[in-house]
Amino acid sequence: MRTLHIKLWRNLWTLKGQGGAIASVIAIGVAMFVMSFTSLDALRASQESVYQNQRFAHVFANLKRAPESLAERLREVPGVATLETRVQAPVNIQMEDFDQPITGLVLSIPDGQQPQLNRLFLRSGQLPDAHRTDQVLVSEAFAEAHELQPGDRLSVVINGRYQQLLVSGVALSPEFIYQIRPGDIMPDFSRYGILWMNRSAVEAAFNMDGAFNNLSLTLSPGYSAESVIAGLDNILAPWGGLGAYGRDDQLSHRYLEEELTQLETMALFLPLIFIGVAAFLLNVVAARLIRTQREQIAVLKAFGYNSFAIASHYSALVLVVVLIGSAIGVFLGVWIASGLAGIYQEFFRFPWLEFSVRPGVALAAIVIAGGATLVGTLSAVYRAFSLPPAEAMRPEPPANFRRTLVERMGITWLSQPSRIILRNLERQPVKAGMSILGIGLAVALVMLTGFMRGSVSYMLDVQFRLAQKQDITVTFNEPAAGRTIHELRALPGVRYAEGFRTAPAILRYGHREYRGAVQGYVPESQLFTVLDAELQPIEMPREGVLLTDHLARMLGIEPGDILQVSVQEGRRPELNIPVAGLVTEFIGVGAYMHRDTLTRLLREDDTISGAFLAIEPEHQSELNRRLENIPRIAGVNFRENVITAFNEAMDETVLMFTLFSMVMAGSIAFAVVYNNARIAFAERGRELASLRVLGFTRAEVSFILLGELLLLTFIAMPVGFALGIGLSWLLTWGMQTDLYRIPLVITPQTYATGALVVLTATFLSALIIGRSLAKLDMVSALKAAE
Amino acid sequence: MVGTETAQAVFHTRGLTRVFRMGEVEIHALRGVDMDLYPGEFVVLLGASGSGKSTLLNILGGLDAGTSGEVWYRGKDLSHASEKVLTDFRRYHVGFVFQFYNLIPSLTARENVAIVTDIARDPMTPEEALELVSLTERMDHFPAQMSGGEQQRVAIARAIAKKPEVLLCDEPTGALDSKTGIKVLEVLLDINRRLGTTTAVITHNAVISDIANRTIRLSDGRVSEVIDNPNPVTTDQLHW
């Protein structure tokens, strides 16, 4: 057995090129797998640990105003473990050197103390002094965006009154891990911040002495959020309750969950593809590698080695390669995951990260890669072993060939070398098919990560150029009279303004429900258009509601069905509205109506909740200042900011992913092509050397070998494009949420990038093989074969 | 240095040596070979295995170069020729026949010949070449569909189709039974007679020298004996 071990190491050394290529494919597959699962694990574990340690509440509720004494009644609702009341209110924040409006949310904490629930994690500084009313904690993301530190001053407009505050500390909360302004689709840390102040200070500022307008609670074991919510809503209804909700509807938690679900899709999907491709390649390559060892196997067998010894020998050979590749892969995967966690930290504001590598993840990756390799190896060893040794030692008889399909169809003008290429491919269609599939998958992998950029800009184009044309969206603290629109129209720089009415509501159909809003728009709106499936504008119907197609699918409702709408505002009517049609939207979901119809159903006179503005850009700064000073305005959104934020986020995450995948897909393409070439070279070296003897030049001989590779690569292109479209479709399908749905748009650049990466890989392997061709030994080709 | 004799000879070697370095061991395959091959003759290079006959044939065919000494082909110095000159030399002037045929398995008989005629100057057609070896019937068969003797005849057709000045055959009957081997020799003789192609056959089978005009015996890397054979026998008198 010792000699066999020596042979093992010598073989490994001889096969270092091919072994290296296989190891790198394994490394890539394993790295992707480990990276995805490790970073996802880190996010999940961090979420759990932060929720637990910081006592993230289970149920939340907003109301207009209730006396603190009501809290006792609420605590008696069965299932409530800990209940804490708060005062919360919108504020406008002013920063020097930042001329755009900043809005914020101020939340009360017990004077000078940590709250019982949703406890704060202090990154720096300390809690406000119990006896001061001018001290404030700011959220870390906002503090970073404006370089705020404890001791800095902050100007805010609280309830219409200008106030100077002192930053006492920078904090993080389990409630705002994903810090996003309600209604936004992307976080904007510089224009939205969270502030925490002493309860007495907030009460005083908002005239809420001895009252509260927000509460959160944890559940006793065995109670569901639903039962407690029903109890709360009953008690809170007379106090202007806006409907209690569980974690599933808590903004940060919901977004975090959506993002994590998307990541899970990506984390499962991409690495499974990568490791699948790698496994497939390994199977093919290992099988071919063993075939070239046919004679050696026969000799060993002739010496009396049994099949087990030989199988172990070759298994050990490939396992060494698998282990080297896996070790590199695990290391690489963990390393990239830790880098990736830093990128996620930008969006997910966890006070701390729980980063650990589950041995199971690494093990699973190794088992998948190793298993596939072993199957290929053992089946090839078995085939070699089943031959009688005398036969296996003899050179293989000339293989059977026949005219290819193209020739049989009447194309006869092919040169002899072209015939050689075609017949070789057609004689082993499975092998050629596998190679084409392998190269095609590499093309598809590049496309899969590359198409995102084009799709996202298409998505933004449709949403913000075709559907929504307003420059600014203004939302009010509470519904205002329709004539308020004239005030806005009169502001400097406003070209045009349109009021809209949004009523928060629970939309129900059958047993499914969605917590959102019904939105009323003026018909023939110039700034807001709803689009059909062909992206053509739809006229807002006089009666009935239009639903985003995705929302309709979520509710299982179709046009003609009756949608139940429980309005959560004002008189809180229960409405039954027929679905008049479906709307195509890529970002967000909505229920859209004629504004007059909506206000009529709400039993209101003409009211609006906000307005869309079209502005003259040169007056923007002045307009910003004026808007900031209108107390009824709770939020101001700029379309361009949203687009920029989206693009920046995409650039940060997608770009890195794209580069990463390009390198990986490129390596896979290289490994496929190179191994193909190496094996073709091993199988046909004699044939090529014979041609050299007959007077063929190096270039002419190279054509036969490299022409085959090139042909395979070219055939693989359309296959890869088709696979790329399919995989991309699967990915967009798996990633659709009510936040956004990435449309499948594959730009010519995406195709071109896929093709280019793979062609480059082919070219590189051709260069390397070309060097071996130059060293072809003519004399040995004439001796007994192989 | 080009004398009348050298000009007349097709191949002319003087003091040709070839040393192979296998790691730390030196193998002297040729130890100073002086030899001439003349136009139109059928020569057998006879020797035991390890006598250096294959090495000599490889050097004559431009597949290998000597370590020292001279090799002239029709007054051209092959010992210092470039890779390109050697490729052209093989392409236009030499026909090779090998022990293991070295046919391209993916090409039919006709195409195996065509692969050479496609790149030659003024070749015969593949059909003519295959007719010379009596394989007209089997023209469209693939190597896997032919017997060893038939495959070797295709190899001969491939070698002669370019109308080479020399035909170098390395153990052409080595992988064949005697009956088939004799048939192949008959084809080689027939070509030699009809086309006047200088033919060198290397073999360890002494019987074959009976059909040659001349036999050059090699042993231990040197020419040990040259035997003229004024009355070669016909192939039907051969047997081994």
Q: Rounded to the nearest 10 degrees, what angle do helices A416-427 and A429-461 cross at?
A: 90
Q: What are A626-640's pLDDT values in tens digits?
A: 887 787 887 788 888
- Would residue B75 count as lying in a domain? no
Number of H helices and E strands in chain A, helices first, is: 22, 22
Cα–Cα distance between A461 and A450 in angstroms, integer? Answer: 18
Task: Examine the pLDDT at B1 and tell me if it is beyond 50.
Answer: no
Cα–Cα distance between A656 and A320 in angstroms, integer? Answer: 32
Mean pLDDT of chain B: 88
CB of A233 closer than 8 Å to CB of A63: no
Task: Examine the pLDDT at B4 and tell me if it is beyond 80.
Answer: no
Cβ-defined contact of A397 to B144 (cutoff 8 Å): yes
| Helix (H) or strand (E) run with residue A779 in it | helix A778-782
Task: Say which DSSP state A97 is in.
Answer: T
- Would residue A366 count as lying in a domain? no
- Regarding whether A671 and A555 lie in a shared domain, the answer is no
**Where do runs of H (alpha helix) occur along A466-605?**
484-489, 549-555, 595-601
* Contact A694/B at CB under 8 A: yes
Regions of chain A with pLDDT less than 70: 1-2, 267, 270-271, 274-275, 277-282, 284-286, 288-289, 292, 384-385, 387-399, 410-412, 653-657, 781-786
- Would residue A219 count as lying in a domain? no
Mutate to test the interface with B, among A394, A396, A400, A401 (most CBs of B within 10 A): A401
Distance from CA of B9 to the nearest CA of A (A): 23
- Regarding whether A460 and A528 lie in a shared domain, the answer is no
Which residue is listed with tokens 């989206």?
A: A646
Nearest to A229 by CA among A59, A397, A431: A59
Mutate to test the interface with A, among B104, B111, B115, B169 (most CBs of A within 10 A): B104
Binning pLDDT at 50, 70 and 90, where does residue B6 land?
A: very low
Cα–Cα distance between B181 and B169 in angstroms, integer? Answer: 13
- Regarding whether A769 and A662 lie in a shared domain, the answer is yes
- Regarding whether A572 and A435 lie in a shared domain, the answer is no
- Regarding whether A586 and A544 lie in a shared domain, the answer is yes
For residue A564 the two structure tokens come to 């139940």
* Contact A781/B at CB under 8 A: yes
Cα pseudo-dihedral A643, A649, A650, A654, rounded to 10 = 180
Last residue of a domain, one of A183, A207, A231: A207
CB of A348 closer than 8 Å to CB of A380: no
Cα–Cα distance between A439 and A444 in angstroms, integer? Answer: 9
- Would residue B226 count as lying in a domain? yes
DSSP letter for each residue of A205-228 = HTT-TTEEEEEEEEEPTT--HHHH
Cα–Cα distance between B146 and A416 in angstroms, integer? Answer: 19
Angle at A185 between CA A184 and CA A189, to 5 degrees: 70
Cβ-defined contact of B105 to A697 (cutoff 8 Å): no
- Regarding whether A681 and A552 lie in a shared domain, the answer is no
Residue type, A212: F
For residue B36 the two structure tokens come to 């001439």
Q: Which residues form the domain of A728?
A: 428-466+639-786
Q: Buried b vs exposed e over A511-547: b needs ≥16 C-beta within 10 Å?
A: eeebebbbbbbbeebebbbbbeeeeeebebbeebbbb
CA A381, A387, A393, A399 torsion-angle sign: negative
- Would residue B178 count as lying in a domain? yes
Q: Is A92 left (phi over 0), alpha (psi -120 to 50) or beta?
A: beta
- Would residue A126 count as lying in a domain? yes
| Contact residues on chain A for B158, CB-CB shorter than 8 A | 694
* Cα Rg of chain A, angstroms: 33
Cβ-defined contact of A398 to B87 (cutoff 8 Å): no
- Would residue A232 count as lying in a domain? no
The pLDDT assigned to A646 comes to 78
- A140 or B102, which is more confident? A140
Which residue is listed with tokens 């998958």?
A: A441
Nearest CB among A401, A696, A782 relative to B102 is that of: A782
The pLDDT assigned to A389 comes to 64
The pLDDT assigned to A721 comes to 95
- Would residue B154 count as lying in a domain? yes
- Would residue A435 count as lying in a domain? yes
- Would residue B55 count as lying in a domain? yes
Cα–Cα distance between A577 and A570 in angstroms, integer? Answer: 18
| Contact residues on chain A for B114, CB-CB shorter than 8 A | 416
Cα–Cα distance between A149 and A92 in angstroms, integer? Answer: 19
DSSP letter for each residue of B62-99 = TSS--SEEEEEETTEE-TT--HHHHHHHHHHTEEEE-T
Q: Coil, strand or helix: which one is A535? A: coil
Task: Examine the pLDDT at B198 and tell me if it is beyond 80.
Answer: yes
CA distances from A659 to A448, A746, A757, B230 (A): 12, 17, 11, 79
Task: Say which DSSP state A784 is in.
Answer: S
Mutate to test the interface with B, among A694, A698, A708, A778 (most CBs of B within 10 A): A694
- Regarding whether A768 and A671 lie in a shared domain, the answer is yes
- Would residue A355 count as lying in a domain? no
- Regarding whether A722 and A683 lie in a shared domain, the answer is yes
Burial label, A553 (beta-carbon count in 10 A; 0-12, 13-18, 19+): middle
Task: Say which DSSP state A466 is in.
Answer: I
Contact map slice: A 674-693 vs B, CB within 8 A: 686-687, 690-693
The total number of structural domains in chain B stands at: 1
- Give strand pairing partners of A564: A508, A576
The pLDDT assigned to A771 comes to 84
**Where do runs of H (alpha helix) occur along A107-224?**
140-145, 199-205
Distance from CA of B115 to the nearest CA of A (A): 6
Cβ-defined contact of B63 to A694 (cutoff 8 Å): no
Q: Which residues form the domain of B211?
A: 39-65+83-230
Distance from CA of A283 to the nearest CA of B (A): 26
CATH number at B55 reads 3.40.50.300
Angle at A277 between CA A275 and CA A281, to 5 degrees: 115
- Regarding whether A781 and A648 lie in a shared domain, the answer is yes
Give the pLDDT mean for B137-155: 90
Task: Examine the pLDDT at B21 and tell me if it is beyond 90.
Answer: no
Cα–Cα distance between A221 and A230 in angstroms, integer? Answer: 17
- Regarding whether A609 and A696 lie in a shared domain, the answer is no
Binning pLDDT at 50, 70 and 90, where does residue B46 land?
A: very high
| Helix (H) or strand (E) run with residue A579 in it | strand A574-583
Tell me the HSE value of A783 on the side-chain side, using a 13 A CA sphere: 8
Strands A545-548 and A591-594, bridge-based pairing:
antiparallel
Last residue of a domain, one of A615, A650, A665: A615
For residue B238 the two structure tokens come to 């051969």
Q: Which residues make Cβ contacts (< 8 Å) with residue A419, sequence separation at least 6?
A: A404, A407, B106, B107, B111
- Regarding whether A654 and A758 lie in a shared domain, the answer is yes
CB atoms within 10 A of CB A238: 11
Nearest CB among B91, B98, B111 relative to A419 is that of: B111
- Would residue B77 count as lying in a domain? no
The total number of structural domains in chain A stands at: 3
Residue type, A663: V
Task: Examine the pLDDT at B54 and tell me if it is beyond 50.
Answer: yes
- Give strand pairing partners of A494: A615
Nearest CB among B88, B90, B105 relative to A693 is that of: B90
CB atoms within 10 A of CB A150: 18
CB of A246 closer than 8 Å to CB of A229: yes
Tell me the HSE value of A471 on the side-chain side, using a 13 A CA sphere: 15
CA A705, A707, A709, A715 torsion-angle sign: negative
Q: Coil, strand or helix: which one is A409? A: coil
- Would residue A389 count as lying in a domain? no
Nearest to A25 by CA among A361, A328, A315: A328
Which residue is listed with tokens 């209690």?
A: A244
CB of A505 closer than 8 Å to CB of A566: yes
Residue of B nearest to A692 (CA): B87
- Would residue B18 count as lying in a domain? no
- Regarding whether A573 and A686 lie in a shared domain, the answer is no
- Would residue B239 count as lying in a domain? no
